[in-house]
Amino acid sequence: MTETTFFVSAPGKIIIFGEHSAVYGKPAIAAALSLRAYLQVSRNDNENEITLKFPDIDLSYTWNKHDIPWTEIRKFITYENGKPVTTEELVPEIVDKISNLLGDIPSRTHFTTCLSFLYLYTHLCTEDVPGNTFCIRSTLPIGAGLGSSASTGVCLAAALSVLSGKINSPTTSIHDKSSKDETHQLEFIDNWSLMGEKCFHGNPSGIDNAVATYGGAVMFQRVSVPSQPSIRTTMRNFPSMKLLLTNTKIPRSTADLVGGVAKRNSEYPKLTSPILDAMGNLASEAYKIMTAPEFGHVELETLRELVEINHGLLVAIGVSHPALEKVKVIADINKIGATKLTGAGGGGCAITLIDESSPIESIHKAINEFGREGFDSFETSLGGKGVAMLTKHDVSEENRNVVFSLEEFSALKDSISIEHQIGTSGTNNWKYW
């Protein structure tokens, strides 16, 4: 049965080791956060209209589905068993046709967001799918290194695939299962969300999408042979670590930073290449330590050292920012642990792997100093669940009208009210693929 109103949700992530080098096929380690993106899909009265309502980034657009050149676009799509097949690169002819539809969108962010949506829509849906409103709200800071783009892409890929019957809705609230059918559906979501991420920056490693799809913690390695799947090793016994996340709130674009590293790599290949190799070796070393049967103080101390080294290497490829260095200096002066930037850098967030022997007063002092600089700091819990779906059947009758009111959802003021109304940790009975 096709639902006419539903939610899909997917988590953000923290890259603990190996951002940027992940793009160059080196191993990296990341874990899902409890912060998530939530997408509500609801049928439009006018079924010819496709509407985007993304209040978090002040974006609101409507297209008539008959304005999409479906036949022209389909000529460039390959299907296997009725399902579209992903490609190594975005198909330029399809990007052109979608760009023509977007002609007069002035903001670069809005343009890319709409391109990413329509790229997925034209591959995963057909003109027969009735028009819907797609409304996204996120409890993640956007553009801060915590993978909001991938969690958005995962929500869209999952929702569009359900709408067009490419995958089934999930049926169980038990997350940790490995039925073959479910695995195929998750793979489908992961692969298509990666095409959405490619619209944001041409060359994503896929680590963010993998974490947003599957949740938990992973060691991830992109395989450079086209059409070979990436290596994704689930880290089930991820060690418990005290992590402080600090958001400098300096805006930046992942696309620009990934492009900057590519430029440095082409200008100084002999210098950059060993740095990227070192980052990969560092992530492999960290993986061994994190999965060792004995994990205690000594291992944590080694991990802190690796965090320090990883940050230094990221500085060397040009992706830090004075504000991120300020976070590091404050954490170092107060001796609270080891700090590195996380995600694309250039602003956004840093993580501090807290030294468990540092006095609580020092941690509070550092947090106060971060606050004085205008940064937000909070302790995070890792290992959030992967992509999930919520339908009317999963919510008690008395709550349904509030939970599924598009007007209320789009107007929710902050993360706390989003979590409270529809969050995965509340009373609503989310289902997992």
Catalytic residue numbers?
208
**Does 254 contact ligand ADP by CB under 6 A?**
yes
Candidate ranges 11-19, 119-127, 166-174, 246-254; the one touching Mg ion (CB under 5 A): 246-254
Regarding 205 and contact with ligand PMV (CB under 6 A), the answer is yes
User: Where does this chain touch ligand PMV (CB under 6 A) — which range of 200-208, 372-380, 398-406, 409-417?
Assistant: 200-208
Q: With binding defined as CB under 6 A, does residue 275 bind ligand PMV?
A: no
| Residue among 5, 34, 149, 339 that touches Mg ion (CB under 5 A) | 149
24 binds ligand ADP (CB under 6 A): no
Please select the residue that binds ligand ADP; options are 43, 48, 57, 289, rule is CB under 6 A. Answer: 57
* Cβ within 8 Å of residue 288, ≥6 positions away: none
Q: How far is C-alpha 202 from the geometric centre of its chain's CA atoms?
A: 15
- Is residue 20 a contact residue for ligand PMV (CB under 6 A)? yes
Instruction: Give the CA distances from residue 243 to residues 314, 363, 431, in Å, rounded to whole numbers and listed in that order.
Output: 19, 11, 29
State yes or no: residue 205 binds ligand ADP (CB under 6 A).
Answer: no
Classified as helix, coil or strand, 266 is: helix
- Which residue has 């080791």 as its token pair? 17
Q: CA separation (Å) from 419 to 9, 107, 403?
A: 11, 29, 11
Site for ligand ADP in 326-365 (CB under 6 A): 343
Residue 16, phi then psi, degrees to nearest 5: -85, -40
Q: Is 207 in the site for ligand PMV (CB under 6 A)?
A: yes
How far, rounded to the nearest angstrom, does the alpha carbon of residue 132 sit from its chain's CA centroid?
23
Contact 394, 432 (CB under 8 A): no
Distance CA 136, CA 43 (A): 15
| 119: enclosing H helix or E strand | helix 108-124
Work out whether 139 is an interface residue with ligand ADP (CB under 6 A): no
**13 vs 123 by CB, closer to Mg ion:** 13
Binding characters for ligand ADP, 148-187, by CB under 6 A (x = yes): xx--x-----------------------------------
Contact between 190 and ligand PMV (CB under 6 A)? no
Side-chain-facing half-sphere of 164: CA atoms under 13 Å: 19
Q: Which helix (H) or strand (E) holds 184?
A: helix 180-200
At closest approach, how far in Å is the CB of 222 from ligand PMV? Answer: 8
Are 10 and 386 contacting, i.e. CB atoms less than 8 angstroms apart? yes
The answer to the question of residue 423 lying near ligand PMV (CB under 6 A) is: no
Q: What is the rounded CA–CA span in Å between residue 164 and residue 160?
A: 6
With CB under 6 A as the contact rule, the residue among 68, 158, 344, 366 that binds ligand PMV is 344
Select from 38-46, 124-132, 143-151, 383-391 the region that touches ligand PMV (CB under 6 A): 143-151
In the complex, which residues of this chain contact ligand ADP (CB under 6 A)?
37, 54, 56-57, 109, 112-113, 136, 138, 142-149, 152, 200, 253-254, 343
